[in-house]
Amino acid sequence: MRGAMAAAFTELQRLSRSLQDPEKVAAFQQLCGIQRLPAEKAAAPQAEEDRHPNGLENGAVPRRRGGEHRQAVRRNSLTGEESQEEFLVRSRLLYYLFSFGTELGNELFYISFFPFWIWNVDPYVGRRVIALWVMVMYLGQCTKDVIRWPRPHSPPVIKLELFYNSEYSMPSTHAMSGTAIPLALVLLSRARWQYPFIFGLLFALGWCSLVCLSRIYMGMHSILDVIAGVLYAIVILIVFLPALDLIDNFNMTYQYSPLIIISLHLALGIFSFTLDTWSTSRGDTAQILGCGVGVACGSHANYMLGLMKDPPLASMPFIIPDITVNLVGIALLRVFLGLAVLLPVRAVMKMVTIPLACKVFGIPCDDIRKARQQMEVELPYRYLTYGMVGFSVTCLVPFLFTCLGLH
């Protein structure tokens, strides 16, 4: 028995090393048409029309060169780090497809998708999915800082994305969110909406597959990182999904829930900042916790004020309405008005909280980039800014809709 266990453990180690091999990531990139430029071509000066006018953050548009596509040099706006590696993109379709897939795990998607779902589809499901997303992302980010596995080595891997390169690799939090969000949407909505369940599962599988493959394509994760992220998210989903009703009811109805929520999330943020030195993961963790706090406190205020009430259970299951010009117009109007509130709120909070935190903690504010890497600045700045954004999504904007008759 002991020998069999030892053999199984050895085989598991061999499989783990194989799935972590950066050569497999590089092979997948080559299969998808990503090719490293020879050193002499990369170093050669470009024609003026081939140059990109600006350093780009989080992805650049490929440029036509000799019938192929050339990737411009990009700069991380937070750290100032530049990527000097250039490469050819032979499949424009795959490049844009996987660029879209990786954006499904970035801030722009979250700040667009979650509000749209809450304002136009089903706030009941939206609140619960956000609560689960906060748990998944927090546990994933903390696990990265505990395990501390590096990103796949370059070379042989070609790094198409730079912004998250300072983070650790295991597990892939993109894979975790790309698994948890679509599965939670399907599982939470199947009893509330009439639609073929198999279509929901295919939708979740397609979403998850696109996000996971995009992280390998971008050269940011090994195959093992992605598999671990998917399995980790499924475990968290199994554990926390039954508790989402209890959590949501507590957030909305318990008198002192805002005080408890704010204190708990702040403590979790302080803990995560002690796990390792600075990386983009620390700021993202505070940002995610802030969103969770804002949405939960906004839901509480929303419930107390009677805004955007959940439909009665007797009216379920809901029938997906016909897509009409009027329906689309009202949805777009809600989104336009909502974002017209969210974006200024985010900008003003950033403008106020960073200098204020610097002043309170005596940190020089001459170089904003360096100041933001200090825990005393980054934690309150992210926590308060995105807490206010989350509160606006579930309270301020619904109040605006009520005043305008758009509820």
Non-local (6+) Cβ contacts of 155 within 8 A are 26, 36
Q: What are phi and psi of 83, to 5 degrees?
A: -100, 120
Calpha distance 261→359 (Å, rounded): 27
| pLDDT score at 196 | 84
Residue 66 above 80 pLDDT?
no
Calpha distance 262→137 (Å, rounded): 18
Picking from 228, 168, 162, 215, the residue whose alpha carbon sits closest to that of residue 32 is 215
Residue 250 above 60 pLDDT?
yes
What is the H or E stretch that residue 331 is in?
helix 325-361
Express each pLDDT in 106-140 by its tens digit: 888 888 899 999 888 888 888 999 999 999 999 99
- Average confidence (pLDDT) over 291-300: 91
Least confident of 13-17, 109-113, 189-193, 237-241: 13-17
Which two tokens mark 155? Answer: 């070379």
Q: Where along the chain do its domains lie?
A: 276-313+325-407
- Average confidence (pLDDT) over 381-385: 87
User: Percent of the chain, pLDDT > 90?
Assistant: 19
- Residue 24 vs residues 96, 123, 186, 323: alpha-carbon distances, Å: 22, 42, 32, 44
| pLDDT, mean over the chain | 79
Stated length of the chain? 407
pLDDT band at residue 41, thresholds of 50, 70 and 90?
A: low
Residue 270 above 60 pLDDT?
yes
Tell whether omega for the bond before 156 is within 30 degrees of 0, i.e. cis. Answer: yes
- Average confidence (pLDDT) over 177-181: 92
Sign of CA dihedral 327, 329, 330, 335: positive
| pLDDT score at 1 | 64
At residue 296, the 3 state secondary structure works out as helix
At residue 41, the 3 state secondary structure works out as helix
272-275's contacts with Cβ under 8 Å and 24+ in sequence apart are 272/138, 272/141, 272/142, 272/145, 273/375, 273/378, 273/379, 275/142, 275/145, 275/146
- Based on the residue annotation, tell me whether 407 is a catalytic residue of this protein: no
Express each pLDDT in 311-368 by its tens digit: 666 566 777 777 888 888 888 999 999 999 999 999 898 888 888 888 777 777 766 6
pLDDT band at residue 59, thresholds of 50, 70 and 90?
A: very low
Least confident of 26-30, 205-209, 243-247, 307-311: 307-311
β-pairing, 34-36 with 87-89? antiparallel
Residue 369 above 80 pLDDT?
no
Residue pair 217/94 in contact by the 8 Å Cβ criterion: yes
Tell me the range of 103-107, 160-164, 342-346 where mean pLDDT is highest: 342-346
| pLDDT score at 193 | 82
pLDDT band at residue 85, thresholds of 50, 70 and 90?
A: low
Calpha distance 173→50 (Å, rounded): 35
Residue 67 above 80 pLDDT?
no
| pLDDT score at 69 | 47
| List 221, 265, 300, 407, catalytic entry | 221
CB neighbourhood size of 110 (10 A): 20
Least confident of 103-112, 154-163, 179-188: 154-163
Calpha distance 288→384 (Å, rounded): 11
| List 69, 174, 265, 300, catalytic entry | 174
| pLDDT score at 327 | 85
- Average confidence (pLDDT) over 31-37: 79
User: Whole-angstrom distance between the N-terminal and C-terminal Cα of the chain?
Assistant: 65
- Based on the residue annotation, tell me whether 221 is a catalytic residue of this protein: yes
